[in-house]
Amino acid sequence: MSKSLQAIRGMNDILPEQTPLWRYFESTVARLCDNYGYKQIRTPIVEFTELFKRSIGEVTDIVEKEMYTFEDRNGDSLTLRPEGTAACVRAVLEHGITGGGQTQKMWYIGPMYRHERPQKGRYRQFHQIGCEVFNLDGPDIDAELIVLTWRLWGQLGIRDAVKLELNSLGTSESRGRYREALVEYLSAHLDKLDEDSQRRLKTNPLRVLDTKNADTQAVLVDAPKMADYLDDESRVHFEGLKARLDAAGIPYVINPKLVRGLDYYSKTVFEWVTDKLGAQGTVCAGGRYDGLVEQMGGKPTPGVGFAMGIERLILLLETLEQVPEEISRQVDVYLCAFGEAAELAALALSEKVRDQLPNLRLQINAGAGSFKSQFKKADKSGALYALILGDDELGQQVIGFKPLRGQGEQQNIAFDALAAHLATCVVQG
């Protein structure tokens, strides 16, 4: 195929055979968010570039080198959203829905765009589900977000494969003091730092903690620790969060090097990581961003949230073989009809059945075919039952009902009794 007719590198099709797993995942998360009192927000996929520069921060990987930015026909600089928090903040400010101190608990889902090197678990279009909470500053809500994700891992059957890492970045004052101490220490070891870290030391020194370079990591062993610089407010908040996680029975490890890639975090930061996916091990990440709304031009408004990467979680479900069998079955009943008269009767009958059983997944054979070929298709569809309508059945106004997965005998059912019969044998979602 010529190059122009291929999808863009790092941007994937999700094919019909894969979407049942996606929809299962998405509906599980959506239901959980609903149940915890979060309402969905939907924002555009494109925003003014300035929004991301101001919220994510100029000297972050995302803004420096990962954004899909272009000029539109008006000459405005626009960017495909690389993450979801910026738009949520913009939207609550634009619509004034947090300005009076109102609490907002919201969630979003959708594609995000980052120009990264594509590899397993890392794509240029990927999907996130995230939650954001505004105007609650206590550790109770940080804990709720983590509890919600913990429940999700439980429902998905992947709890044993993920680990919670936790840190506090403190208030901006305490982080400022820590930054000074860190810069002083690292500057004394400048020659042992990798090039990237030397650069970050000047632009965004906390990010040095995040380095993958072994030499720099060795230098960091004796570096000052954020925990020693936390002010009382941050310490009390962090202790409050830990106490709640303990109460909820959620295990965690404190990772003093956890800083997160985005500039806007304060106090709580956390990541759910797995060792089952190789290098792309973070499946969900979040934290508190108490200064962000004000930085974006609003009143001081505490905020906290997380985002999970759907592709990585889908990969994890597949790796751990935690794909429920029933989700790939899309058909309950497959109707085979033989001959023109039977086809017409089958259409009328199945529409009547659909009236009575709106949730029944009934597929009618299309494209005619021999008994053998229709039966093969019925079996391949995954249906539990086949319905068979030929001239003989039509003459008696009955339809053949045949269990395909070994549940009982074949029998004839009167047209009038079909819906009632199906209602007794098909569990309807």
Contact positions vs ligand ATP (CB under 6 A): 83, 114, 116, 121-123, 126, 128, 261, 280, 282-285, 307-309, 311-312
Sign of the torsion formed by the C-alpha atoms of 131, 137, 142 and 145? negative
User: Which of 262/333 has CB closer to ligand ATP?
Assistant: 262
Cβ at position 250, least distance to ligand ATP in Å: 18
Q: Is 157 annotated as a binding residue?
A: no
Q: Which residue is nearest to ligand ATP (CB)?
A: 309
User: Which of 28/397 has CB closer to ligand ATP?
Assistant: 28
User: Which of 29/333 has CB closer to ligand ATP?
Assistant: 29
Cβ at position 111, least distance to ligand ATP in Å: 10
Q: Is 295 annotated as a binding residue?
A: no
Cβ at position 55, least distance to ligand ATP in Å: 12
Q: Is 408 annotated as a binding residue?
A: no
What is d(CA 43, CA 197) in angstroms, rounded to the nearest whole number?
35
Cβ at position 284, least distance to ligand ATP in Å: 6
The string of DSSP letters for 31-80 reads HHHHHTT-EE----SEEEHHHHHHHH-TTSHIIIII-EEEE-TTS-EEEE
Contact between residue 252 and residue 165 where contact means Cβ atoms under 8 Å apart: yes
Residue 337, both tokens: 């009809």
How far CA 144 is from CA of 13, 28, 36, 287, 290, in Å, comes to: 34, 17, 9, 12, 17
Tell me which residue of 305, 213, 313, 309 sits closest to 262, measured CA to CA: 305
What is d(CA 86, CA 52) in angstroms, rounded to the nearest whole number?
6
Phi, psi at 6, each rounded to 5°: -105, 160
Task: Tell me the residue length of the chain.
Answer: 429
User: Which of 133/285 has CB closer to ligand ATP?
Assistant: 285
Q: Is 85 annotated as a binding residue?
A: yes
User: Which of 320/425 has CB closer to ligand ATP?
Assistant: 320
Contact between residue 182 and residue 202 where contact means Cβ atoms under 8 Å apart: no
Cβ at position 13, least distance to ligand ATP in Å: 15
Q: Is 339 annotated as a binding residue?
A: no
Q: Is 84 annotated as a binding residue?
A: yes
Cβ at position 294, least distance to ligand ATP in Å: 21
Contact between residue 279 and residue 191 where contact means Cβ atoms under 8 Å apart: no
User: Which of 84/224 has CB closer to ligand ATP?
Assistant: 84
Q: Is 265 annotated as a binding residue?
A: yes
Q: Residues at the annotated binding site for L-histidine?
A: 83-85, 114, 128, 132, 260, 264-265
Q: Residues at the annotated binding site?
A: 83-85, 114, 128, 132, 260, 264-265
